[in-house]
Amino acid sequence: MPDRSHISRRSLLAGGIALSAAVALPGCKAQMTGLLTSADAHPADYPTVRAVEFMGRWLAERTAGRLGIKVFPGGQLGSETDTLEITSFGGLDINRVNFAPLNSVEPMTLPFSLPFVFESVAHMRRVVDSAVGDEVLAAMEPHGLIGLCIYDSGARNFYNTRRAIRTPADMAGLKLRVPASDLYVAMINAMGANAVPIPYNEVYQSLAQGVIDGAENNWPSFVSARHYEVANYLSLSEHLLTPEALVMSKASWDNMPPGDRALVRQAAQLSVAEMRRLWDARVEEAKATIAQSSVEVNEVDKEAFSALMRPVWDRFITTPAQKAMVARILEMGEG
C-alpha cells in the first residue's frame, strides 16, 4: 500500500493557505474571516456533510451572511488523520471525523471506540447526550481541537469478498481493512482476522484489486462508498457503534469573538437533531439498496465475538479516568 500521508499533508498545507487567502476580505489583516472551511471524508449528500452545511446556513441566517461554512467533502483535502493534524494547527477551521483517528490523539476518546460497549443506537445517543459526551469533547482542547458536537454513525458490520462470517472461526485468514486506530487493529486481530489499516478513500480500490478481503463499516458507508459492489457478504456483527466527532481548530476558535463562538456552538448543537433525522432515513435507504443487490446478508454470533474482547478493553482502558468513564457508559445501557 503506497504511503500517501506525506503527499496529502503537503497538498493540504498548500490547500489550507490557498483557502484562507481565497476568503480573505479586502482591508482585513490576518484575521479569522467569516467563511469557515470544513472537511469530510464522505460524499456531498452524506448526512454528516449535510448536517455541517445546515450549521453553515443557520450561521449565515443568524448573522446576515457574515458567518458561514464551506464544506470540502469526499476526502478531497486528505485522509482523516491528515486533516485532523491540519485542523489542530489552523489550516482548516472545522473537521468531521470518526472517533477512530482521534484514538491516538486523546486517550479519553478510546471508551467510545470499544467493541460492544454500546448495546444499541439508543444507548449510544443517551451517552453522547450526557455529561460523558461533553467531557470527551472537552478532552480534545489540549490537542488544539475544540469538540463541537457528536454525530451518529450507526453500527459497524463486517463485509468481505470471500464468505459469510458467523463465528470467529470464519475470520481466519481474512485481511480486513480498519481505520487508523491501534484499537481497531487489536480488535480485528483478536477476532482472528488480519487487520490492515488503510485510509477510507482507498478501501474501494483495495477491495476491487484484492489487496484486502473485506472491511467493516455502517450501512450508509457500505453503500455510499460503493463497497457493496465488490464485497458480496455482509455479516451483521454490530461490533462497534463508535460515533462521529465534529471538531474545530482551537487556533480558529481563539481568533473568533466570544459572540461568534457561542453562535458556532449553538449551530453545532442544533445540527445534531438534523443529522439524526438525516441519518435514520439514510440507514433505511441503504438497507433497501442492499436488499435489492446481490449482497448476501447474515446474522452473527455476537456473543462469541464479544467474548474475545476483554484483552482489547484491558489493553486500551488503563487509567482511572478511562475506567470510570467506561463504567458510566455501561450504567447507561439497557442492562
Beta bridge partners of 159: 215, 234
CB of 301 to ligand GTR, least distance (A): 23
Nearest-CB residue to ligand GTR?
98
To 10 degrees, what angle do helices 131-138 and 320-331 make? 150
The DSSP string of 35-100 is EEEEEESS-TTSHHHHHHHHHHHHHHHHTTTSSEEEEE-TTTT--HHHHHHHHHTTSSSEEEEESG
Distance CA 74, CA 46 (A): 9
For 149, phi then psi, to 5°, come to -165, 175
- Shorter beta-carbon distance to ligand GTR: residue 37 or 48: 48
CB of 215 to ligand GTR, least distance (A): 7
- Shorter beta-carbon distance to ligand GTR: residue 35 or 154: 154
Amino acid at 235: S
- Shorter beta-carbon distance to ligand GTR: residue 32 or 279: 279
Distance of CA 292 to the CA centre of its chain: 27
- Shorter beta-carbon distance to ligand GTR: residue 93 or 152: 152
For 79, phi then psi, to 5°, come to -70, 165
3-state secondary structure of 26: coil
- And the C-alpha cell for 117? 460497549
- And the C-alpha cell for 283? 440507514
- And the C-alpha cell for 37? 472551511
CB of 278 to ligand GTR, least distance (A): 13
- Shorter beta-carbon distance to ligand GTR: residue 260 or 274: 274
Beta bridge partners of 196: 177
Rounded to 5, what percent of the chain is helix, strand, coil? 50, 15, 35
CB of 140 to ligand GTR, least distance (A): 16
- And the C-alpha cell for 171? 475470520
Q: Which residues would be at the binding site for ligand GTR (CB under 6 A)?
A: 41, 80, 97-98, 100, 153, 179, 200, 217-218, 221, 244
- Shorter beta-carbon distance to ligand GTR: residue 286 or 317: 286
- Shorter beta-carbon distance to ligand GTR: residue 152 or 170: 152
CB of 244 to ligand GTR, least distance (A): 5
CB of 198 to ligand GTR, least distance (A): 9
CB of 118 to ligand GTR, least distance (A): 15
3-state secondary structure of 113: helix
